[in-house]
Amino acid sequence: MNLRTWINRPKEPRGAQRDGRELTELEIENTLAPLDPRVRDALLSMYRGEPQLGMDGERHALKPDTRVSPSEGMWLYELCLSVRPRATTEIGMAYGYSALYFLAAHAKCGSGHHTAIDPCEAHLWHGIGLAQVRACFGDIPDAFQFIDDRSDRVATDLARSGRTFDIVFIDGPHLFEHALADFHLYAPLCTIGGHVVLDDVWMPSIRTLSDFLRANRPDFLHVPAREGNISVFQRVAEDSRSWGHFRQFPVQGDMD
């Protein structure tokens, strides 16, 4: 199956739902069946809403709206298996859902490195994401780096050190200007042929960013994805726009 065919495969509805109802635990288990048992068990515990161990040694309740759905997580996992990325990064780690999917895929491929960026991991998310990574993959494996800083500052450091990524997952602050800044700063770090994935396109701010990119970034090809809560762009060229380039684009939805 080629990449375009795979990306357009039939999807699960957004969230842990199907046909407007909550997925049963058995359905989630079946969705996660291809994963390593350690990763699958950790994710199942979080999807059940069970309190999770943080880096402070305490268990904390999870915010139910802060997660990647099982179908979206498996989409990321299978994308990694398909393209076998050398390096991936995510902006916004939180409880570690997406980090586990990325690291599980790297482990399955036998290669690859994942970088997670989140300045709020300790004080807002209690280090649960880091604790999950350590529980599933050991004491911060060689295939993983966590950066405790804002994504804009990190981008400058990564660029100066010559780092690039084959998949960039943008799931940080969802204000329009924050998400736009993340794309602007991380697009040059995406390899030609690599992918930038915007999460939470159900939100008008992220959907508007997706529409802006489709109209104004010819160096990124929008790849229609059947997973409804993401917008996927493949980098196909260097950015060669003139300094004043801008195309009007329709804005969808109510921004209030």
What is the mean predicted confidence (pLDDT) over 41-54?
Answer: 97
Residues, the chain: 256
Side chain identity at residue 12, one-letter code: E
The per-residue pLDDT of the chain, averaged, comes to 91
pLDDT value at 14 more than 50? no
Specify the amino acid at residue 26: L
* Residue at 178: amino acid letter: H
Q: What is the mean pLDDT of residues 34-44?
A: 97
Superfamily of domain 3-235: Vaccinia Virus protein VP39 (3.40.50.150)
Q: How far is CA 107 from CA 85, 114, 245, in A?
A: 12, 11, 42
Q: Parse the chain into domains and list their residue ranges.
A: 3-235
Can you give the pLDDT at residue 142?
Answer: 84
User: For residue 140, what pLDDT is reported?
Assistant: 66
Q: Are 60 and 123 in contact (CB under 8 A)?
A: no
- Cβ proximity of 69 and 12 under 8 Å: yes
CA 112 to chain centre: 16
Q: What would the mean pLDDT of 106-110 be, rounded to a whole number?
A: 95
Q: Does position 255 have pLDDT exceeding 60, yes or no?
A: no
Secondary-structure percent of the chain, ordered helix, strand, coil, rounded to 5: 40, 20, 45
**How high is the pLDDT of residue 227?**
92
Strand order in the sheet with 165-170: 144-147, 113-117, 87-91, 165-170, 190-199, 230-235, 220-223
pLDDT digits (tens, 9 = 90+) for 123-146: 999 999 999 999 999 876 689 999
Q: pLDDT tens digits, residue range 151-162? A: 999 999 999 999
The stretch 201-214 carries a mean pLDDT of 96
Check if the beta carbon of residue 88 is closer than 8 Å to that of residue 166.
yes
| pLDDT greater than 60 at residue 20 | no
Which of 31-40, 69-78, 110-119, 246-255 is least confident? 246-255
Segment 167-193 shows an average pLDDT of 98
What are 65's two structure tokens?
A: 């709206």
Write down the pLDDT at residue 16: 55
Q: What percent of the chain has pLDDT over 70?
A: 89
Question: What was the pLDDT predicted at 23?
Answer: 79
Q: What percent of the chain has pLDDT over 90?
A: 85
